[in-house]
Amino acid sequence: MAYTSLTQQNPLRVLNMSKDSQMGLVMARAGLGKTALLVQIALDAILRGKRVIHVSIGQGIDKTRVWYDDILQLILQGHSVDRPHELIDMVSRHRMIMTFQASAFSRARLEERLNDLVLQDIFRPNCLIVDGFDFDTADREALEDLKNLMESMHLQAWFSAVRHREDLRVSPHGVPAPCHEIDDLFDTIILLQPREDASIELEFINNSSEHAIGSKGLRLDPTTMMVKER
């Protein structure tokens, strides 16, 4: 069943997320909506016919599943969808949640679990969501290793990173710490910026063209955490 109308109306269409082997990053202070945005990116990929593995580091499966359930219900409330139960079932079949303890996550362990799924023909992902990766302690080599894995498996990947108010370091492209020295490894970086009206603006930085492409007029609704166009 095609869901073209949902993808065409989705504000996240500006991300042009059809290419494989690209890496994206969502950065914000704690509690500003990183997981909500990653789930919406994942759902957009699923509606485009892709299969998504959501890697949740330091968080249980149930909590992550609730994010998907809640946001999918908001999508259904905002759009007219024939046979919504079929959409819910399709999302469930095209999404797998994988959890790791923070101390147990590494390229080697992730690759082992992904290969187990692919080689046994259980689940073959096109897109990987990595929520909770510790950029404060990870070095460049670890990120390069993960990027190499994404390229070898032809996976699009999106990560989240926590920025800290007191850390004022920033890259020449405007990417804040702790990702200021590895921003070149990501094709697109989204900074979540709180505004005076309580909304959260999405600020885009595209390092493939080596300049900030600025805000595309997108924000997170502070009530629903859904991406909206101004």
Residue 34's CATH number = 3.40.50.300
Task: State the pTM of this model.
Answer: 0.93
Burial 173-207 (b: 16+ CB within 10 A, else e): eebbbbbbebbebbbbbbbbbeeeeeebbbbbbeb
The reported pLDDT for the residue numbered 21 is: 73
Q: Identify whether the C-beta of residue 214 lies closer than 8 Å to the C-beta of residue 24.
A: no
Question: Of 149, 66, 161, which is closest to residue 106 (Cα–Cα)?
Answer: 149
- In the chain, how many domains are there? 1
Exposed/middle/buried for residue 67 (C-beta within 10 Å: 0-12, 13-18, 19+):
buried
Asked if residue 112 belongs to a domain, the reply is yes
The reported pLDDT for the residue numbered 207 is: 57
The reported pLDDT for the residue numbered 5 is: 80
The reported pLDDT for the residue numbered 198 is: 86
The reported pLDDT for the residue numbered 64 is: 96
Question: Of 131, 105, 176, 102, which is closest to residue 38 (Cα–Cα)?
Answer: 131
The reported pLDDT for the residue numbered 210 is: 43
C-alpha span between 130 and 111 (Å, rounded): 13
Three-state SS at 93: helix
Asked if residue 187 belongs to a domain, the reply is no
Asked if residue 223 belongs to a domain, the reply is no
C-alpha span between 36 and 139 (Å, rounded): 26
DSSP β-bridge partners for residue 186: none
The reported pLDDT for the residue numbered 9 is: 83
| Domain assignment of residue 102, given as a range | 19-170
Q: Identify whether the C-beta of residue 118 lies closer than 8 Å to the C-beta of residue 89.
A: no
Sign of CA dihedral 206, 207, 208, 212: positive
Asked if residue 4 belongs to a domain, the reply is no
Asked if residue 48 belongs to a domain, the reply is yes
Q: Identify whether the C-beta of residue 173 lies closer than 8 Å to the C-beta of residue 205.
A: yes
Asked if residue 85 belongs to a domain, the reply is yes
The segments of the chain whose pLDDT lies below 70 read: 1-2, 16-19, 207-216
Question: Of 12, 15, 40, which is closest to residue 206 (Cα–Cα)?
Answer: 15
The reported pLDDT for the residue numbered 35 is: 97
Angle at the Cα of 11 from the Cα atoms of 8 and 17, rounded to 5 degrees: 75
